[in-house]
Structure 1
Amino acid sequence: MSAVTYPTRRNDLMPLVRVLTTGGTIASRRAADGRVVAADSADEVLRAVVPVEGVSIAAEEVFRVGSYRLTLPDVRELANRVRWASKEADGVVVTHGTDTMEETAYFLDLVHDGSVPVVVTGAQRNAESADADGPHNLRDAVRLASEPAARDIGVVVAMAGRVLSARQVTKVNTLALDAFAAPDGGQLGRIDPETVRLLATPRRRPAFDLDTIDGALPRVDVVPLHLGADGTFVRAARQAGARGLVLDAFGAGNVTPDVLRATEQVLAAGLLVLVTSRCHAGPVSPVYGAGGGADLAAAGAVLAGDLRAAKARVLLTLALAAGGDAGRATELLHPHVRP
């Protein structure tokens, strides 16, 4: 862990933004073997950023890894650190790898109930690149986090000048600088060179109590649908000890006949099942029969609205961890899957 004074003293005239670093491309450099790995400390990440006039910044390292190595318990630890940081700061920024940024941002949003803005950002090009985008993205994130108009915005992602809601944001390009979008309308504003423009505020849904999310997190698996898929992975998830299942279904929430049969079996055994769509935008809906979303809903599966599979898994994990039993977990799910 490292901390930096850059400066850190808070006063009545200068907002304080706490930056929590976790590694990712923004902190990465090329190793001796030519592979890019997370290397920079919080001090080094912040040192590359042009200071934001009128803002105090304090930085602290939480992890130093690529985000593809993070686990849900890691993100729970990060969420606790964000909670403590938000008690003493006007805004919090989390630097993060882009691979799982959308899942971490959504987890943080699900447990964040304060008015302090939390901005997640990162980079597509490593710190040694001549045209590294990390310093610019981080400076934009600090500007947004210190913006009075951002109070009560919850958790957002700021990348390439876009402000995107944690619920809707997704990575849409592997390497491009402008790699994140919100296909279902979650762009909240832009960060221009001179101005932070917030055009909308996301709807805040009930937050999960982080203090109830302790101990071992329940296993929740994602089953992707494809042409001719059978129920093998549904049955395997139950055998592996899953307490919940996310079906990444066709279209508006449809599955093959064998997946329907296997899903009915695991529902009868007490698993909770969320249904999402593998489409990039649009909600699931109980329209079709003969294996469609209507049959899944009739069997007891919960339709996940406009959530995509990776985020539905985060939501279902938290609901099961906080709810204790399936009935209470289902109650906790509903505010988050309704329009």
Structure 2
Amino acid sequence: MSKPRIAVFTGPMPTIANTPPLVTDAGALRPQRLAAPVKVLVEAFSAHPLEAQAAHLYGPPDGWLDGDGRLVAEEPPGGGTPVFEVELKPDDGLFLLPYAARRADGRPWEAATEPAAAADTRQTFLPDARRLYEEIERFEVGGDGRPVALSELADFDFLRAAPGGGYPREGERLGVDYFPYEPPHLVREPDLAALARITDQVQEAAASGRYAGLQWLESSATVEETLYWLNLVIDTTVPIVGHAAQRSHRAIGDDGAKNILDGVRFIRSGVWADADGRDRLGAVLIVDEMVLASREVAKVDARPGGYVAVGGHGGVVADLGAHWGPRVTYVPERRHTAMSALRLPELPGEVDGVQGDLSGVRRTRVAVKDADGRLVGAAMPRVSIVPFGHYAEEAIGPDAQAVPDAGVLGQVERALARGGLAGLVVEGMVPYGSTDPGIDRALRIAVCAGIPVVRVGRGHPGGMVFRRDPWAIAGDNLTANKARMLLTAALLRLGALPPARDPVAPTEAECAAIRARLNAFQDVFDTH
């Protein structure tokens, strides 16, 4: 294909865009820029231990160093060190150089990070991927011995979507505009409002028509959730490709550069396109030379290669071997991106929410989008995960009625008091999503209060949860985190369930209305 333009988004807590701390006089060379040209003498045949064995294939060096260290034009009678004279210029780009900076009080910078206020702490996360891509192109070498020339493969626009690094001197706020995971005392997790902003940014880029594809960089632990969210809500016909890394950029064993290069190769290949040139695979994660569907991928171990296809029914949509181009292995049947019923342009401006308490619930209107069609952060549904463990706290005899689980009821009461949109995902037995009678009773009350419940199996089950409970949505083979993303998007499209006036004792008519609305949610889960 012709040289494409790719939008590169740097998302929250991205190890792939994180760097080891800058350490003074540690012997580690770090990428830096020259302030002025400089000439250096490079020892000939020092690039490889066996280079001198092929010395007869080389032209003469630029000179020799004699025994006194003087540069001479001819080889000295007693022998000397052959050298090449090289001029390094600032315009050449970054060079690996010793790090010479020191603290304000003259002490060297050390690896350990001392607890301090954000304004007095150096950052390790890059603010966007521009420097990351520059360093890949400058220092990484392909198997053919040539530089990894990303700029020859594509043009890039580097965009910031709740990135790990920020500009506090320019007014950016930690935990609002940027989200690092180190130093530990400054860890900040993005909230639902940040997810709404991310959605709007990515949709704006996708709708611009400028890009042949989008690359998304995020923490290896959470990238699967965001990618599946983008898979559901972004209206686009071009590929969305996510990347992560287990190790920081330029740390030993860094795996991020290869993942990024593979993503560019994948976008350029066009294997993702159907006969009409539209993306047929949906948002994918490209790591470790695999292309995994965002719906089915999960991180199960903190190491390179720690991603697996979950759900028991495929998940690796393409292969990225070292000696061939990308090859599609299967095409997902689930709805995604431009085919999703939950994509941002299809979401209504307003939906019904719920508010009140367990003694009385009323409907309320929730503004989902503003006048410009952007998501309203305050409207984002609060969807919680309810874990289930065997052996209930209280035994229930054959003639006793189950006491509603207090923990679940507490979540329902908080959601009603806050008002708006809320949901619950219960992580129950495999493969049925079953829970104990106390939790079941509380979940039934939640549904009658307008709060939909999804049942999934624990962990990353291969078996599908089918619909045995008419009061809950069957989560199929989704993990709890993926079901949470899907329920969040479904609530923005469908709104809350019609609540019973008294959730503990609903009428028959109220029950019928609730079950009918649950069918609409079930259709979403069956198709996305």
Structures share fold, TM-score greater than 0.5: yes
For residues 148-207 of structure 1, what are the alpha-carbon distances to aligned partners after superposition, in whole Å with 9 as ceiling and x for unaligned? 121312200111111000110100112x10121112211111212242122122224124
1:39 aligns with 2:125: yes
2:243 maps to which of 121, 128, 134 = 121
RMSD, aligned CA: 2.5
How far apart in 2 are the matches of 1:278 and 1:178? 22
How far apart in 2 are the matches of 1:187 and 1:219? 31
One-letter identity of the residue aligned with 2:265: R
Corresponding residue of 1:326: 497
How far apart in 1 are the matches of 2:458 and 2:409? 20
Change (3 A) 1:103 1:220: same
Q: How does 1:53-92 map to 2 (within 5 A)?
A: 53-62=152-161, 63-64=163-164, 65-66=179-180, 69-86=189-206, 87-92=209-214
- Local SS of the residue matching 2:153: coil
Q: How does 1:137-152 map to 2 (within 5 A)?
A: 137-151=259-273, 152=279
8 Å contact kept, 2:220–2:246: yes
Corresponding residue of 1:313: 484
8 Å contact kept, 2:299–2:306: yes
How far apart in 1 are the matches of 2:210 and 2:429? 45
How far apart in 2 are the matches of 1:27 and 1:114? 25
2:309 maps to which of 160, 168, 182 = 182
- TM-score normalised to structure 1 length: 0.85
Corresponding residue of 1:199: 329
- Per mean C-alpha deviation after superposition, the further-off stretch among 159-168 and 49-58 is 49-58
- Per mean C-alpha deviation after superposition, the further-off stretch among 197-206 and 60-69 is 60-69
How far apart in 2 are the matches of 1:329 and 1:34? 53
Change (3 A) 1:210 1:338: closer
1:245 maps to which of 404, 424, 429 = 424
Corresponding residue of 1:3: none
Question: Radius of gyration: which is bigger?
Answer: 2
8 Å contact kept, 1:248–1:276: yes
TM-fit CA distance, 1:37: 6.7
Change (3 A) 1:258 1:312: same
8 Å contact kept, 2:450–2:496: no
Corresponding residue of 1:261: 441
2:391 maps to which of 228, 233, 244 = 228
One-letter identity of the residue aligned with 1:191: L
- Local SS of the residue matching 1:246: strand
How far apart in 1 are the matches of 2:496 and 2:213? 35
8 Å contact kept, 1:282–1:306: yes
- Local SS of the residue matching 2:131: helix
Higher helix share: 1
Identity among equivalent positions (%) equals 27
Corresponding residue of 2:19: 29
TM-fit CA distance, 1:26: 0.8
One-letter identity of the residue aligned with 1:45: L
For residues 89-111 of structure 1, what are the alpha-carbon distances to aligned partners after superposition, in whole Å with 9 as ceiling and x for unaligned? 01110111111111101100001
Q: Which runs of 5+ in 2 are unaligned?
A: 22-109, 114-121, 137-147, 165-178, 182-187, 274-278, 348-367, 369-374, 394-404, 417-421, 499-516
Instruction: Give the aligned length.
Output: 318
Change (3 A) 1:105 1:221: same
How far apart in 2 are the matches of 1:237 and 1:147? 48
Change (3 A) 1:101 1:245: same
- Local SS of the residue matching 1:326: coil
- Local SS of the residue matching 2:425: strand
- Per mean C-alpha deviation after superposition, the further-off stretch among 224-233 and 206-215 is 206-215
How far apart in 2 are the matches of 1:270 and 1:324? 9
Corresponding residue of 1:157: 285
Corresponding residue of 1:51: 149
Corresponding residue of 1:7: none
- Per mean C-alpha deviation after superposition, the further-off stretch among 75-84 and 117-126 is 75-84
8 Å contact kept, 1:25–1:38: no
1:271 maps to which of 422, 443, 451 = 451
Q: Which runs of 5+ in 1 are unaligned?
A: 1-11, 287-292
1:111 aligns with 2:225: no
For residues 67-117 of structure 1, what are the alpha-carbon distances to aligned partners after superposition, in whole Å with 9 as ceiling and x for unaligned? 872233323322222222233101110111111111101100001332200
Corresponding residue of 2:3: 14
1:208 aligns with 2:342: yes
1:335 aligns with 2:515: no
One-letter identity of the residue aligned with 1:250: M
- Local SS of the residue matching 1:19: strand
